[in-house]
Structure 1
Amino acid sequence: MSACASIRNHRVNSILPPYVTRELVEERLPLVFPEGTPNRIYCTRQLSASTVFTMIYIGAVQGLDRFLGPIHVYRMTDEQAAKVSDGERVAYGNDIRKRSYVVPGDPWYADNTREPIRDETLREGLVNIGAVIARDDLPTTSSKPRYALLSDFAALFDPNLVDDALLAAISAFQAKHLSKSALARVSLMQAGAVAGKSGVMVSFPNGETRKLAPGPSSIISKSVVEDFAQTFLQTPAVLWLSESGNKVVQRDDGLAASIGLKIEADKDLPDLILVDLAPTDPLIVFIEVVATDGPISDRRQTALYALTDAAGFDRSQVAFVTAFEDREASGVRKVMSALAWDSFAWFASEPNNIVQLKGGTTKKRFLTDFL
């Protein structure tokens, strides 16, 4: 072998991370980005695994001065992915944009997949979460490759990294690169999943405890009582708490009667009714827990207003909340269009934040009026 050939081989070897299969990438992504990770679907689906695999394949890793564009992903084939030599990997990365370059086999994706690769998997997913970096020296309209894996993220897919060492590396990456709010969401989601297996113990504001049946709805109800009530109400109390199948877990008729509210089991009653006793005129809070469906809709809001109107409550003393486990939960997308105006949405994984759906009035208002 000539000296020049030896130097070329050394350079090829020095710029490529260890070869890894797409299957291994797809297996590890959910471990790196567990439930509660923002835009998790964009970071863990097969399209994401294909993208990360291809970046490793061509050596698009921080510090190696090699970058990926969507074309590298949607033109990849099973036959090309099986070519594991350094020369074949480098040739694919360098030449894919040449018209004369022929990739063997059928491409993984159609050419029009470039948008979801760029906009969802990369920009909204892996770049947003801090796993991928993008070149900032290219115009936004440039078609040149611009994306590379963060070096310590790429290291998580080394096939020689396994078992406890892998889990430790993943934990270190999460602690370093996921934001504090993202880590808090992950922790809450994981804690809820564990608690939901054997039943969910709820601590009420008055010191009493009740055990709810296992399941996602119970996990959200627990968060409503223990987190939402303590965060958004001054002197909270639970008037009503029911489970699936209309099983009443907590019912305080005495307290309800003392504030003038008569509660009777009804199909329109929500999962929880809280009251804030601090104001001179108590605040009644109707809360519907959504694991899959059943939000505070316009119809439910109207039916509940009928209950409080009959009891003599001014509507300024009544609030409506739809509670979800997380913004990423499937139930959010399913019911968002049905949420009633002049109600709130709350997410257990982000307990200090709340979304207000402000209804319109005949009086013209500007955005500054809401700030």
Structure 2
Amino acid sequence: MLPPYVSRALISERLPLIFPEGTPNRSYCTRELAASTVFAMLYIGAVEGADVWLGPVHVYRMTDLQAEDGCEASRSDYRVNLRKKSYQVPGNRWYADNTREPIRDETLREGFLVVGAVLERADVPTTSGAPRYALRADLAALFDPDLMGEDLSAAIFSWQEKHLSRSARARVSLMRAGTTGKDGVLVHFPNGDTRRLASGPSSDISKAVVEVFAVKFLEKPGVIWLSESGNKVAHPDLKLASGIGLDIEAQKNLPDLILVDMGPVEPLIVFVEVVATDGAITPRRQEALYAITDRGGFSRSQVAFVTAYADREGAGFKKTVTGLAWGSYAWFMSEPENLVLLQNGVTRLTSLNAFAAVEPN
């Protein structure tokens, strides 16, 4: 028997719930092409245990007219006869033939297979065009139209616990933990001070930079400057800044955060830009910030630049990554143990425990 008929619209609604922010390659699992692929699997019955398999052709040759015909005879006819040259699918096709590659390579192999949502036949050669994919039975059950409300939420949570890896679940949890309430974001500084920032994604990232990044990558961290939208003097530590010879009072266009590491013999100044949607450390921005430390008499080896993001799957990173300055770093709130260095031809790799800066060419 075929699984219950379900619309592509319902699948589109549930995919983002099943694969939340922080899921590896989330966009491949939640976009329209993913909903179309899941729809086609359910439509023809390509579900674990049924010995029915889907190929990309079942997705890109689907039409609105065919998709609206939910009777079992039509669904079976589409599956059995689609690959015959004489078979005509009524209506306008969803996608062109060249969509087979993103369906196969992105949605299926880099998306659903990675998170254990889909099975692939091992006995079909990679060069064969034979159908080879099927939806996991426990995932297929999440699209039952009769499953709603708390029962749906519980079923989704159970599936995530089983199929998302430990690191993926941790990443999802970190992303969820960043959601702020109406009372704003309380930031705890290394010196024991606290400051409440307005709610929002930028404040979530700023909090993580101060409480997680600084502790992880700096030996003896301090916060010289923290700004937020609409309040550019949220936390200026003028005493700490003047103590190391950095004049920030007269400066304009300071970054979102300025950290200092007092552990090394020569203090390390770390300029951090927080990106929720825009505003990364670009080459132009890097030079403008160097001008501040140059005037303070700091060697450029004492200066580092970091762009902080919520997640590398997020729109902010994808929008700004191509403009990041060489010799700078990128850090992600959802993967706090890791740090990306945009290496610029310097052969000596830095020790991240000591967090030494890499001066651009």
Query: Same fold judged by TM-score > 0.5?
Result: yes
Question: What amino acid is aligned across from residue 205 of structure 1 in structure 2?
Answer: P
Secondary structure in structure 1 of the residue aligned to 2:326: coil
1:210 aligns with 2:187: no
Shift, 1:196, TM fit: 5.2
Mapped to 1, the partners of 2:250 and 2:116 lie a distance apart of 49
Paired position in structure 1 for 2:19: 33
Paired position in structure 2 for 1:185: 171
Number of equivalenced pairs:
349
Paired position in structure 2 for 1:199: 184
Structure showing greater radius of gyration is 1
Q: Percent identity, aligned pairs only? A: 65
Shift, 1:339, TM fit: 0.8
1:77-105 deviations in Å (ceiling 9; x for gaps):
22222322323222211211111112122
Matches within 5 A, 1:26-105: 26-105=12-91
1:277-310 deviations in Å (ceiling 9; x for gaps):
1112221111011111111111221222222223
Aligned match of 2:218 in 218, 230, 233?
233
Worse-matched range after superposition: 82-91 or 222-231: 82-91
Mapped to 1, the partners of 2:136 and 2:175 lie a distance apart of 26
- Give the number of the structure whose residues are more often helix, by fraction: 1
Aligned match of 2:267 in 269, 272, 282?
282
Matches within 5 A, 1:275-314: 275-314=260-299
Secondary structure in structure 1 of the residue aligned to 2:206: helix
Structure 1: gaps of 5 or more residues: 1-12
Shift, 1:32, TM fit: 0.3
Matches within 5 A, 1:242-253: 242-245=227-230, 247-253=232-238
1:149 aligns with 2:135: yes
Secondary structure in structure 2 of the residue aligned to 1:250: strand
Paired position in structure 2 for 1:171: 157
Shift, 1:144, TM fit: 0.8
Mapped to 2, the partners of 1:166 and 1:329 lie a distance apart of 26
Contact 2:223 2:259 in 1 (8 A): yes
Shift, 1:242, TM fit: 0.8
Mapped to 2, the partners of 1:82 and 1:301 lie a distance apart of 55
Secondary structure in structure 2 of the residue aligned to 1:270: coil
Worse-matched range after superposition: 253-262 or 166-175: 253-262
Question: What amino acid is aligned across from residue 88 of structure 1 in structure 2?
Answer: S
Mapped to 2, the partners of 1:306 and 1:27 lie a distance apart of 49
Secondary structure in structure 1 of the residue aligned to 2:178: helix
Change (3 A) 1:81 1:213: same
Change (3 A) 1:21 1:320: same
Structure 2: gaps of 5 or more residues: 350-361
Paired position in structure 1 for 2:358: none
Contact 2:223 2:260 in 1 (8 A): yes
Change (3 A) 1:265 1:287: farther
Paired position in structure 2 for 1:23: 9
Matches within 5 A, 1:251-266: 251-266=236-251
Mapped to 2, the partners of 1:99 and 1:282 lie a distance apart of 72
1:120 aligns with 2:106: yes
1:334-369 deviations in Å (ceiling 9; x for gaps):
1112111111000111111110001125xxx599xx
Secondary structure in structure 2 of the residue aligned to 1:128: coil
Contact 2:308 2:330 in 1 (8 A): yes
Mapped to 2, the partners of 1:262 and 1:247 lie a distance apart of 16
1:335 aligns with 2:330: no
Moved over 6 A (4+): none
1:325 aligns with 2:329: no
Question: What amino acid is aligned across from residue 285 of structure 1 in structure 2?
Answer: V
Question: What amino acid is aligned across from residue 150 of structure 2 in structure 1?
Answer: D
Contact 1:196 1:219 in 2 (8 A): no
After superposition, the CA RMSD in angstroms is: 1.7
Contact 1:95 1:101 in 2 (8 A): yes
Contact 2:238 2:249 in 1 (8 A): no
Mapped to 2, the partners of 1:360 and 1:268 lie a distance apart of 29
Contact 1:196 1:218 in 2 (8 A): no
Shift, 1:23, TM fit: 1.6
Mapped to 2, the partners of 1:366 and 1:54 lie a distance apart of 52
The TM-score with structure 2 as length reference comes to: 0.92
Mapped to 1, the partners of 2:240 and 2:268 lie a distance apart of 13
Mapped to 2, the partners of 1:105 and 1:231 lie a distance apart of 57
